Structure formats: C-alpha cells, structure tokens
Amino acid sequence: MLGLHFILLGFQALSTALTSHGVAFYDPTQSGGSMLDNAGGGGGEPLNVIISGLSSPAVLTDDGILHFAQAVGFSYECLGFHLGDPQSANLGDGNGWVNQTMELRQDYGDDEIGTCLETLVGGNHFRVYRQNGTAANSGALFLAVSQEEDLAEGHTIIPDGYNIGRDKLVANAVGVTSHEYTTYSTVAQNLTGLLAAGSVGVNHGIATDGMTVLLTVTIIDHS
C-alpha cells in the first residue's frame, strides 16, 4: 500500500514538473521591479513570501491560492468587506505596477465568518501579486504578509509585523496541510539579498530582517 502511494506521488511530481513554468521566480529588481509594493503615501510593504512557480500549477491560480490559504488558516475578506485601497507591485515582468490580485485574512478556524473576527481583532493577512508578464513569466505568486492591529487601531501593522506575519504564515504552511479534498506538501527556503534589511522605503517605517521565504507547494492528494 505504502509503496503504491509513493509511486503515485512520484507520478504526480513528474506531471507537475512537466506542466509548470519551469522556474521558481525571477528577481523583480533585476528588471526594473521592486520587492516592496506601493502602499500609497510613499512607502511599501515587503514581498516577504513567494509561492514558487515550481509549485503545482493548480496552486497558482486564483482559486488555487485561496484553497491553499484556507488550508493554512486564511480566507477571503469578511463578507466581501474591504478596508483600505488596493496596493500595487511591479514584479519586473513587463506588466509595470499592477494592483493586488486579492487580499486574504486569517480566518480563526472558520472560512465563512472567521475573517470578520480578523477585521475586528487584527491578525495575519496578505496581499497576492502574480508574476506573469511576458518578460518574466514564472507564474510565481509574491505575497506581502503582515500582522495587523485591531480595527480600533485602524488596522495598522504591529511593530515587527512584517517579520512576524511572514513567520506565522510559514510555520502554518510548512509540511503537510489540507483543505476539503486537497492535501498539500510545502517546503520552505530562506532567501536573503532580495530585500534590504532595515526600514528604508518600508511602509510605516517598520524595520524587517530582509528575508523572503520561498514556498514550494505540491498537491499530493486530491480526492
């Protein structure tokens, strides 16, 4: 039984490799982009997590990232309620500055109404940007992850909120997770040198350690 399972996993890994874009991501800063998004008001949020273009292709679609996010404790915003303007990012892929594709919030264990709680009490959230312009078409998703204050504090980012938000998301994501019928296996790799450590250009002047975590997410079961 176990042996057969591993053969099936191997086959799935092979078919995934054949249909993916073939590269984890392209460094936006090498082609006119930035690893800080544009939060308005002059600063930007660090793109501190990348979902690798070598992940299962089904993870990299809009529905796919939502389902994966739900497997690691996030969901869509409270009843479609949205606070604040969208931010934009330039991933150096030739598309220029593009608004976030979506914004997901910690769901406190309930896909439907949990994010309402996040909206009230604060918590982890992230914005999603897709690197798919023809100049750097990795299909990777760049995430700006941060831990927020509660609504009374105007949903600003907590001190050290970029590092904390990233580390919490990564801790939830690594290993085997599942949501409804889909099971994921996720591996993390720390990347330095993409973002500068410190607070230069960072929204709210919150310093970061400059690390971006690359997550490779593989669907290992879907039944």
Q: Which residues bind ligand NAG (CB under 6 A)?
A: 85-86, 99, 101, 130, 132, 188-190
Q: Choose between 15 and 190: whose C-beta lies nearer to ligand NAG.
A: 190
Tell me, what amino acid is at 61? T
* Token pair in block for residue 106: 């910690």
Q: Which is nearer to ligand NAG, 14 or 197 (CB)?
A: 197
* DSSP conformational letter for 56: -
CB of 25 to ligand NAG, least distance (A): 14
Q: How far is the CB of 131 from ligand NAG (least distance, A)?
A: 9
| Structure-block tokens of residue 177 | 């997770």
Strand 212-222 to 49-51 pairing: parallel
23 or 117: whose CB is closer to ligand NAG? 23
What 3-state class would DSSP assign to 194? coil
Cα angle 98, 99, 104; round to 5: 135
In whole angstroms, the minimum distance from the beta carbon of 23 to ligand NAG comes to: 16
Nearer to ligand NAG among residue 122 and residue 126 (C-beta) = 126
Cβ-in-10-Å burial (0-12, 13-18, 19+) of 178 comes to: middle
Q: CB of 189: closest distance to ligand NAG in angstroms? A: 6
